[in-house]
Amino acid sequence: MEEKNTKGHFIQSIIEDDIKKNKNNGNVTTRFPPEPNGYLHIGHAKSMCLNFNMAEKYNGKCNLRFDDSNPAKEEQKYIDSIVSNVNWLGFDYKEKPLFASDYFDKLYEYAVQLIKIEKAYVCSLSADQTREYRGTLKEPGKNSPYRERSIEENLDLFKKMKQGDFNEGEHVLRAKIDMSSPNINLRDPVIYRILKMAHPRTGNKWNIYPMYDFTHCLSDSIETITHSLCTLEFEDHRPLYDWILNELGTESHPQQIEFARMNINFTVLSKRKLKQLVDKEYVNGWDDPRMPTLEGLRRRGFTPESIKNFCNTIGISKKQSRIDYGLLENSLRNDLNEKAPRRMGVLNPLLIEIENYPEGKTEELDAQNHPQNPEMGTRKVIFSKTIYIEKEDFMEEPPKKFFRLTPDQEVRLRFAYFISLKEIIKDESTGEIIKLICTYDPATRGGNAPDNRKVKGTLHWVSAEENIEADVNLYDRLFIDEDPEYGVEDFTENVNPDSLKILTGCKLEKSLCNAEPGKAYQFERLGYFCLDPKLIPNTSNNKKPVFNRAVTLRDTWAKVVEQKQQEKRKKEKALIKQKAKENQKKAP
């Protein structure tokens, strides 16, 4: 059969062309190269999906390689977290994780080789001087006075750098390219610097560490990577990547291809900014469920499938883009709609007493765990004389199209009975509704009326006599503007002050007492929730379980309400304006 519709993005086209031309003997090898200086976020997931998918699709492999050439910033804890994230997402890097630091010896030899062919030299300019000599974007730089040192002197100096004979900053090794290049990366870039600090993996073995540009291309080459996929900001580095491999004449010369990094509205995706949110305590750590980090998303209730699906949906291109946050939510809903067992929980409880239900009686009613998938089975829910429903599911003076409980509107309690209102009990001093007295129709057990009478609304509910009490965290977008940088000097000014709402005293159906941490359940009509893995009752100070809402259900009624509110606000604003005008007229 013809395979016509498999043409994907531009990188895939390049790879397919290469295979056709039998470049690299038709092999495809990619790599995912994180620097262990922070936690992974959803943007990294995009890169992983790209690299691992391409490898898998063309029967190649994808290495997990840590780009750990700067011990000043890197830590073992990040390595551990990253490995765990990659495993969680289910990506297969075949062997073990690889490390650029494993190649430090080879890299050193390559540097020596560059010196020997007079393509590298030890420069003894200070950092400040180096900057001055570099020139600017529009003006060329000038040659370092150390540029013409002899091979012997360079070799000797470089060896001494390695031995630790010099202090940090005294010398660097530079590639000898072109100080007048319009591409600043080619103006004799530093390729080795003295750093007298322990490395998480090589300990105190080295006093010098290679820079990214030198490390990356050679690591790729050592691993015989065929396609080295990276983000757009490295486009300007590609000439350097190629220069190094060409000068060294490496057998393997991978092709660097750049694609646009991911942006999502209402959030930030840069390690630096995420760190600020953590450090300034806008969130509670890197794994706060509001964070777009993989740790955060996981704790929030995102599944690996939903994340991978999202990444595969948004595509690959070279265009700066800002993806709608709703798309991420949607991919979660799609996944969880199929997988998540249904449960009932009342977030803002309103007590109901069923007048004609026998005192002390309880019943176990059957409830489906999934409306479309009978294989997921049923469970028992306890019904009793007093129950809770959601406060928002009752209105004394309802607007049009309000399908829930009202003084003259019967409703169905899901899997249970039809009930109608008898009396509203209010607090005399505040006027607040404290209880509803209702009657039920015993003939409607299970939710079906024998006389076929219809009700417009079906409400979720929980027995007031047997339930579990929990705290529930509701999360909203982290920023108030879709562009966190919009209209402010510092993006933290746009942090949404209501991004976390903690609800206490929520009532959940009893079966949720064996909820698995991190596993998502759909609380019917409310959204998908999971037991916070960090706050499991009896394993920490918390006595009550804490559930996180991963995402709401799509809610067309909420949309209608919101639209009405907005219209109302507009009208009010218009009224205020009109009055102001009238006052102005009166004034003179």
Partner RNA sequence: UGGGGCGUCGUCAAGUGGUUAAGACACAGGGUUUUGAUCCCUGGAUUCAGAGGUUCGACUCCUCUCGCCCCAGCCA
Between 116 and 196, CB nearer to RNA: 196
CA distance 286 to 41: 10
Task: Judge whether 88 and 298 are in contact, CB under 8 Å.
Answer: yes
The three-class DSSP label of residue 135 is coil
Burial call 357-377: b when 16+ CB within 10 Å, e when fewer: beeeeeeebebbbbeeeeebe
Catalytic residue check, 116: no
Q: Minimum distance between the CB of residue 123 and RNA, rounded to whole angstroms?
A: 7
Measured distance CA(175)–CA(117) in Å, rounded: 11
Rg (CA), the chain: 32
Q: Which is nearer to RNA, 207 or 384 (CB)?
A: 207
23, 142, 160, 261: which is the annotated catalytic residue? 261
CB proximity list for 372: less than 8 A, separation 6 or greater:
none
Token digits of residue 488:
């402010």
3-state secondary structure (DSSP) of residue 378? strand
Between CA 509 and CA 496 the distance in angstroms is 32
Element at 130 (helix H, strand E): helix 127-134
Q: Strand pairing partners for 64?
A: 32
Identity of the residue, 261 or 534, whose beta carbon is nearer to RNA in the bound complex: 261
**C-alpha angle 271/327/548, rounded to 5°?**
70
**Cβ proximity to RNA, 288 vs 460, nearer residue:** 460
Nearest-angstrom CA–CA distance, 377 and 163: 69
Among residues 163 and 578, whose Cβ is nearest to RNA? 163
Decide whether 237 or 477 has the Cβ nearer to RNA.
237
Please name the helix (run of DSSP H) or strand (run of DSSP E) that holds residue 526, with its range, or none.
none
* Shortest CB 567 distance to RNA, Å: 13
Structure tokens at 3: 């395979």
- Selecting among 16, 23, 35, 380, the annotated active-site residue is 35
Which residue in 61, 134, 174, 271 is the catalytic one? Answer: 271
Report the alpha-carbon distance of residue 47 to residue 68 in Å, rounded. Answer: 18
The question of whether 299 is a catalytic residue gets the answer no
Q: How far is the CB of 580 from RNA (least distance, A)?
A: 32
C-alpha to C-alpha distance for 367 and 339, rounded to whole angstroms: 17
To the query of whether residue 271 is one of the catalytic residues in this protein, the response is yes
CB of 574 to RNA, least distance (A): 22
At 136 the three-state DSSP class reads coil
Q: How far is the CB of 231 from RNA (least distance, A)?
A: 8
Strand partners, 522: 342, 528
Instruction: Return the number of the residue (232 or 424) whose C-beta is nearest RNA.
Output: 232
The catalytic residue positions are: 35, 261, 271
